[in-house]
Amino acid sequence: MADRSLVQQTILGHISKLNDPDADLRYMSLNDLHTVLTNSNSSFLSSDHRTSAKLVEGLMKALDDQHGDVQNQALKCMGPLAVRIPFEALVPLLEQLCELTNSQTIDTSVPHAAIRAIVGTLPRPQAGQPPSQPESIAYQAVSKVLIPKLIGPSNPVSGRRASVARGMLEKDPSKGFSSDAIDVLIKVVTCFGPLLSEYELAALQDPIMAIIHNDTAGTVVTKRALAAISALVLYFSDVQLNNYIKRLTDTLSSPNISTVHRRHLIAAIGVIARNAPAKIGPHLDQLAPYVFAALGDDGLVQGK
């Protein structure tokens, strides 16, 4: 009890210093908090709702610090924080970070990076093995918050339409598509792919393919979208993959498809073949003619 009380007071002391006008002191306090969070002595936080709440509040404020070094140190704390706080605090933490990704006044790469840090630290399932209780609990938070936030109200999960603002993967009228949001999706799929339902996989596929189908999407965003679809395909069921391949070939067969659009879809075939060869192998006879046809298209090959 004495050790717990001492650690608790240490944490609260560091949190209070996050309001200090001296940026170096704020940085050092975050550095010390990171050390505390990565030490087993802080495991009591999972049952200490009061201290956990103050810790979350302090770190969220530090993420919006005007000094980059302080922001980066706060980001380093997010992963260790996620595995210490109670599950009941994890869900609102993710929700707060998702809301910040829609901000028009802050650098939204910061909350996106914080979300990735959290997802990457949570207990993750192992392929071919039943999930443990901590892994299931972590997935529940991801499923409840991140997937609906990623896809938005146009493709609601579990009837959450009314509670979800514009999806993180949807095009922002002023900023365009977000490569940071795509990286969040990739992290979710990489860490929790074995537990994602077929419905969730389909819901995540739609906005990613909308980016790949979009002729005006930038090069960086398109490349990240291609990486995302190759990650998703790894977890498609046979029926889901068959449907995806059919939609792909139907679009490639269209006489009205633009050169840029065709190039994006050929690139999608390429990344899937490279990253999921066992999945794509049985469908090569359907896809190969479109790839070989592209080799004879000077405009397509040269990127004109």
Contact status, residue 207 vs residue 155, Cβ threshold 8 Å: yes
What domains are defined for the chain?
A: 1-85 (1.25.10), 86-192 (no CATH)
Q: How many CB atoms lie within 10 A of CB 179?
A: 18
Each of the 304 residues of the chain gets a pLDDT tens digit; together they read 448 889 999 999 999 999 999 999 999 999 999 999 999 999 999 999 999 999 999 999 999 898 999 999 999 999 999 999 998 899 999 999 999 998 877 889 999 999 999 999 999 998 888 999 999 999 999 999 999 999 987 554 544 444 446 799 999 888 899 999 999 999 999 999 999 999 999 999 999 999 999 988 999 999 999 999 999 999 999 999 999 999 999 999 998 899 899 999 999 999 999 988 988 889 989 988 888 887 765 545 444 4
Question: For residue 144, how many other CB atoms are within 10 A of its CB?
Answer: 17
pTM score, whole prediction: 0.89
Alpha carbon distance 84, 42 (integer Å)? 7
